[in-house]
Structure 1
């Protein structure tokens, strides 16, 4: 029951909506002037999303969590060092099974920060170090606003063939569309946070709604450019396997490395969930900024698949961790 409960909470509803957007874009893609207006509306939704995230984040939680620097350094190394190394190392092996653009999407996954909500939620279900997870996941997203564009320039810019990533323009766009609203949210936290607590559905609607808008707009553009004529069933299958292989290597590696370095079980859980996950919530808005002029639908398809795989795997793993003995008694939830 733990497994099914975890999956229903963190997978079913949003996944259904996500794939409904892909289906909707496949059947009725937005085009022309409507597409331009839709993109502007999406930009506003993204800015609002990061404003609310800034208002939600507690400065006290950040300060409290920073003291566990060894754990955070380990998680950041996994997120921003191990993943990119794996992405580059496996390129000669995996890219022949995909298109070059799809493998750029794999590399993009590898330079993204960790998730926030689901990392904390799964850590809580698994009875890990929730305070450290809150701090690490939040800091990962803040640092990701700066590190991801840099890593895109280093590892992906050289891979792009015809239309290059404009790193300077992308950096300014991220500052104005993501960082500025986030900072404003922090500054307005005393007034906005009580409203968030009173109306939590507001954050959920903006959070998930902005992602769904980006997915619909991106796939509409991709459908107009012939996405499903370029991506066959065998390529989708290969892409799913590749995402699963990378996730499995990272999760197994983090598990054994955390034990070898002497972290306790609670910290191990935090490391595994925060260090192995990649954000869809921040990844899609940043892709929209970083890859202007590129086939965005093809680039984000690996991220969408990876997101679903990590939710399923983490849901199962969290339920397994939750059953471990506590004071000699096996916990059943």
Structure 2
């Protein structure tokens, strides 16, 4: 394969490296209140564009069938909002005996309580060729569920109480997820023939939007001067975060591919990403609401700031391997179907 062809194939991974380097060199461009205004362009425009794009590219019958896949939804939501927080809570009972900063450990618990994200899990599922409709449904449903469940979990595990403005968060989610998705589906109804004939690069559009989200996330991470950290604790937390993600991806893979699970390879891809990813877009505002005026808020926020780019980096690196696994599974199914009984 020629260098140019290789670059074209791996453009997204190269793009991730470039946007992280750009964020490190000049973080002030993409921070909140900076020239890019991510609090508007990312929180509203970018997320809305991803869901409008998904609505436009998704066949309505696929989304309808996804709504009926109740076992998949139950698995994803119970894993991410019940099993995940409990497993991390048990892990922290052990980690508390170590010298790791206790506020960083509390931050790990807050990560576990977060709902799935409304962007990265959908885009990565689409990039692999998994069940995108199921990923969209679970990202949207999990986000709405998280508005109620996440503050309750934070209260339960961390003992912080506050009044959460459900209505404002709910209306933001409705405007950035549901409305664009519905608009995309309506537009698809009028443009179906044109879209099927032209086949626009929906995946590439979503990937470009995700690069912008990654860039602004790293700009925020690199430009926070108020975080005083023990470097050893920080390094250990980064290792723990990657370990949690890899372990949970393997766990969801094992559960959803076991015989009798009833899940297809495409379902497994959606389950792996939706169950293990956590939302920074919803998470940071929720932390600011629940821990308002808390002197250790910046330290508690660090694990979530790490977890978000880590899940995108890890997911992007795994895309070719998961795609290869899915292709081989499809070939095996086709071959077995062709075998004479």
TM-score, normalization by structure 1: 0.72
Q: Measured at CA, do residues 106 and 24 of structure 1 come closer, stay the same or move farther in structure 2, by a change above 3 Å? A: farther
Between the two structures, name the one with larger relative contact order (CA 8 Å, sep ≥ 6): 1
1:119 to 119, 122, 125: 125
TM (norm. structure 2) is 0.71
In structure 2, C-alpha distance between the alignment counterparts of 1:312 and 1:121, rounded to whole Å: 12
- Deviations along 1:202-260, whole A, 9 cap, x unmatched? 6554443244224423542x2x20x3x4141x334322332233234323333333315
* SS in structure 2 at match of 1:136: helix
Q: Which runs of 5+ in 2 are unaligned?
A: 337-341
- 1:261-316 deviation line (CA, Å, top 9, x unaligned): 4336526633653454415xxx2221331122531455412332243234334543
Aligned partners of 1:178, 1:97: CA distance in 2, in Å? 39
Q: CA RMSD, aligned part only?
A: 3.9
User: Which of 102, 105, 111 is residue 100 of structure 1 equivalent to?
Assistant: 102
Contact 1:105 1:298 in 2 (8 A): yes
Does the CA contact (< 8 Å) of 1:104 and 1:159 recur in 2?
no
Matches within 5 A, 1:219-238: 219-220=222-223, 222=224, 224-225=225-226, 227=227, 229-232=228-231, 234-238=232-236
Shift of 1:50: 3.0
Q: Is the 8 A contact 1:145 1:179 kept in 2?
A: no
Measure the CA separation in 1 of the matches of 2:157 and 2:67: 35
CA contact (8 A) 1:273 1:314 kept: no
Cα drift, residue 91 of structure 1: 1.4
In the alignment, which residue of structure 2 is the partner of 1:278? 277
Q: Which residue of 1 aligns with 2:339?
A: none
Q: Does the CA contact (< 8 Å) of 2:109 and 2:157 recur in 1?
A: no
Of 150, 165, 170, 1:175 maps to 170
**In the aligned structure 2, how far is the partner of 1:39 from the partner of 1:174?**
25
Residues 306 and 65 of structure 1, relative CA distance in 2, 3 Å threshold: closer
Matched, 1:184 2:179: yes
Runs of at least 5 residues in structure 1 that lack an aligned partner in the other structure: 125-129
What is the CA-CA distance between 1:93 and the residue it aligns to?
2.1
Does the C-alpha gap of structure 1 residues 192 and 243 become closer, same or farther in structure 2, counting only changes over 3 Å? same
Q: 1:246 to 1:260 in 2, by over 3 A?
A: farther
CA contact (8 A) 1:52 1:182 kept: no
- Equivalent position SS for 2:34: helix
